[in-house]
Amino acid sequence: MNEDRAESESSFFFHHANIEVRMNKVFLPLTQLVFGGKSDEQLLKIIQGVICHMNGIALDLITISEYQWPGHKCLLDAYLDLLIES
């Protein structure tokens, strides 16, 4: 795998891993619980935003490891607090 590409140059790993189904199994019930009044489209945007933010946290912790970041749980909790308050 190179740059999220599977063996074929035109195919991405994402297309082969049932990511959307797995993502919805985990995040959709939680998102519906917290943001019950939102439309399906809004819930999907929230889920995608949370996943992007989690990837950003992981990226920063790994690639800028010399910086004294708070722990990953603290960073995620701070983001979720902001999300829920908005």
10: pLDDT strictly greater than 80: no
pLDDT in tens, 16-75: 677 778 888 889 999 999 998 999 999 999 999 999 999 999 999 999 999 999 999 999
> What CA–CA distance (Å, rounded) separates 59 from 65?
9
| Helix spans in the chain (H) | 19-34, 40-63, 72-85
Any idea what the Cα angle at residue 78 is, between residues 68 and 63, rounded to 5°? 35
Q: What is the pLDDT of residue 6?
A: 52
Q: Which residue has the tokens 């950003």?
A: 56
Task: Report pLDDT for 19.
Answer: 78
How high is the pLDDT of residue 2? Answer: 46
Q: Evaluate if residue 15 carries a pLDDT over 80.
A: no
**What pLDDT, on the 0 to 100 scale, is given for residue 1?**
41
